[in-house]
Amino acid sequence: MIISPVTYDYYEISFILIVAAFSIPISRKASMVYIPVLIVMGLIFGPLLGFINHSFAIYMLSSFATIGVGMLGLVIILYYESHNFSPRILKKYFTKIAALDTIGMVVTAVGAGIFFSLLTGAPFIVGFIFGSIISPTDPASLIPTFKKLNIRDDISGTLIGESLFNDPLGIILLSLGIGILAPNVSYSSFFTLLTSHVGLIMGFGSFLILEIAIPAAIGIALGFAIIFLNKYFNFESLLVALTLGIVLFEFTSLEALGITPFPAIISTGAIIGNYSDKSIFWNRETNFNENLSFMAQSIIFILLGSILTRTQIFNYIVLGFVISLIVIFLIRPIAVFISIGLANMGKNVIKFDNRTKAFMSLVGPRGVVPVVLSTVPFVIGETNHIQILIEYGTIIYASVSFVVLISIILQTVYVPYVGKLLLGERKY
């Protein structure tokens, strides 16, 4: 019997969902969070056994329905998880979150770029592109880890706040790197146009406002609009359809305009989570999105484990491990200590001690956004015949994949022990 490609794709999707279901009992038996279990299962059933095809995993993660399961799943995850994000935490630790999302990310991009260039022989600007791609941290990994471990609100709020809002700056830094290397390509055309008219610093600031402040304002307005509409029309059980439809609409609309949609989605979720009444229908909406978010996480992390081929693993495993360990244990701590240290210098701010900073410096897994962005340099190189991006594009992609996989597996495993060591039993 000949199996059509479409049928085969659905077999793979069904297989991924079945494998994901087994992650919970396995993680429960192993007394660990389920994320590394999902990734290891992806590695086993992907490159090692071949049940999940590499090309299918890449397609599902980055190209399914044009945007990919990675981005679509991240929309669902961020919308649900932001229900529990308190505006009070954001206001209280705003300076630290802002420092991590600006100074910390620039330090990460430059530091990781230097080491990437030294290890591969690439020009620094190519290294900077790599550093920009791996600079955002991943809320999809942090949030379930912190939930299971009951991390202090000040620490978890700061780190989750950092991860929720740092994707736009990662995209800006990538646009800057590509704009310097290839100013005529369409990927960074708007950023290049803006900086050419108002200068690099003003252009950088204006682009940051466009990518964060404007979407956040739109998300806040939509969040309150949903609450008002429900009070007036009372959507009852179809409240789930209304909220999910509006969230997907704002994601699609902002993506079409070339603006990062995540601040809008986070703002909408936070407004609904904090200001809606706690009726049975809102509780159903929350429970539905919780289950949908968990399913999205399961699919994403299994696919992350499946994206590398055996050839890529053998060719880049040494480079991948070395650059991953440098990013996790050297670059991230430097970035955190510099940014939090500067944030602590302000008047009337709550200061973090060195033990807290040390814990925060060892927590910062990378995730879906870096994987999606890692394909950009090679695609731009192929499309525009830029030889240097074609040459180093595969290395960037493979290195980013290793950083994502190793950072998630290591940090979800060692965070409980590091928390007890640095924060103590009671505080942790």
- In single-letter form, the type of residue at position 381 comes to G
Structure-token match 């959507």, residue found:
235
What's the pLDDT at 217? 92
Domain residues of the chain, as ranges?
66-300+311-428
Q: For position 66, what pLDDT does the model report?
A: 66
Alpha-helical segments (H) within 199-279:
200-208, 214-233, 239-256, 262-275
pLDDT of 375: 79
Cα distances (angstroms) measured from residue 381 to each of 71, 95, 186, 426: 23, 38, 12, 52
What CATH number should be reported for the domain whose range is 66-300+311-428?
Answer: 1.20.1530.20
Q: What is this structure's pTM? A: 0.80
Q: Give the residue carrying structure tokens 């592109």.
A: 129
Sign of CA dihedral 335, 337, 340, 342: negative
Q: Return d(Cα 27, Cα 111) in angstroms, integer.
A: 35
Torsion of CA 90, 93, 94, 99, to 10 degrees: -130
Report d(CA 186, CA 200) in Å as an integer.
18
10 Å CB burial of residue 2 (0-12, 13-18, 19+) is: exposed
Tokens read off for 314:
């053998």
- The reported pLDDT for the residue numbered 346 is 67
Tell me phi and psi for residue 365, to 5 degrees. -65, 150
* Token digits of residue 233: 């029309």
Burial of 224 (0-12, 13-18, 19+ CB in 10 A): middle
Per-residue pLDDT of the chain (428 residues; tens, 9 = 90+): 455 566 767 888 888 888 888 887 887 777 666 777 888 888 888 888 888 887 888 778 776 766 678 778 888 888 887 887 777 777 888 889 989 988 999 999 999 999 999 999 999 999 999 999 999 998 777 777 777 777 787 888 888 888 877 877 887 788 888 888 887 776 666 677 777 777 777 777 777 777 788 888 999 999 999 999 888 888 888 888 999 999 999 999 988 887 778 889 989 998 998 888 777 878 888 888 888 888 888 888 888 788 778 888 888 889 999 999 999 999 999 999 999 988 877 666 678 888 999 999 999 888 777 877 887 888 788 778 888 988 898 899 889 988 988 998 888 888 888 888 888 754 54
- On whether the CB atoms of residues 400 and 371 are closer than 8 A, the answer is yes
